Amino acid sequence: MPILPIVQAGEPVLRRQARPLRPNEIRSREIRELIQHMKETMYAAPGVGLAAPQIGKGIQLAVIEDRQEYIKDWTPEQLADRERKVVPFHVIINPRITLIGEDRVEAFEGCLSLTDLMGLTPRARRVRVECLDEKGEVCVIEATGWYARILQHEIDHLGGKMYVDHMYPRSLMTVENFTQHWKEMTTSEIKAALGIT
């Protein structure tokens, strides 16, 4: 299965509204194969989600999976703090997202289309997503915590947005510097040190 190239920030497709897939397209061999290629590309990156615009396709399709191997080194406290747990592989097509409640959670986010960068990004803690699955069947997802963050991130891509549109600009940093200087700090400590109010 070939690994697809992931386009980087500045590629026009990342800033355009993706078009919805029609029912006959969803069931096509082309889309089934694209989903498999996207799944393998997401694994190879590695990432927890990949939207079609990130591989140059302006269609409303994304793949998501948060694997056990990605969180095996996290402490129970870190997992609880981020409300992060394993999310099985699934596909979302033509999603409509609703942010539930006023709770916002701040965490560092990265993106496969902004290689080696991350920023502190506020997101809704809970979301509801109505979409179609890879068979074209209606699916409703209610998610909290890290899974809600993943959904918001990927659905943003389908609307021509990226996490940098939501993040605190002063928090943009390389993954290497985050790991070296900030990883062990709480979000409150990081915000204070960076002068984010």
- 148 sits in which H/E element: helix 145-158
- Residue 104's domain comprises 12-167
Quick: pLDDT tens for 37-95: 999 999 999 999 999 999 999 999 999 999 999 999 888 988 988 899 999 999 999 99
Question: Beta strands of the chain (E only): which ranges?
Answer: 49-51, 61-66, 87-111, 114-132, 138-144, 173-174
3 state DSSP class of 26: helix
**Residue 129 located in a structural domain:** yes
pLDDT of the residue at 82: 87
How many domains, the chain? 1
Which one, of 146, 152, 33, lies nearest residue 92 by Cα? 152
pLDDT band per the 50, 70, 90 thresholds, residue 139 = very high
- pTM for the model: 0.96
Percentage above 70 pLDDT, the chain: 99
User: Is 7 within the bounds of a domain?
Assistant: no
- Per the annotation, the verdict on 130 as an active-site residue is no
> In this structure, is residue 191 part of a structural domain?
no
Domain of residue 82, CATH code: 3.90.45.10
Dist CA 171 CA 129 (whole Å): 28
Instruction: Determine the distance from the C-alpha atom of residue 49 to the mean position of all C-alpha atoms in its chain, rounded to a whole number.
Output: 5
pLDDT over threshold 90, residue 184 = no
For residue 150, the surrounding DSSP H or E stretch is helix 145-158
Task: Give domain status of residue 195, yes or no.
Answer: no
pLDDT for the residue 81: 85
For range 177-185, the mean pLDDT: 92
Catalytic-labelled residue, pool 65, 109, 134, 154: 154
Mean pLDDT, residues 16-20 taken together: 98
Residue 110 lies in a domain: yes
Supply 126's token pair: 């809970």
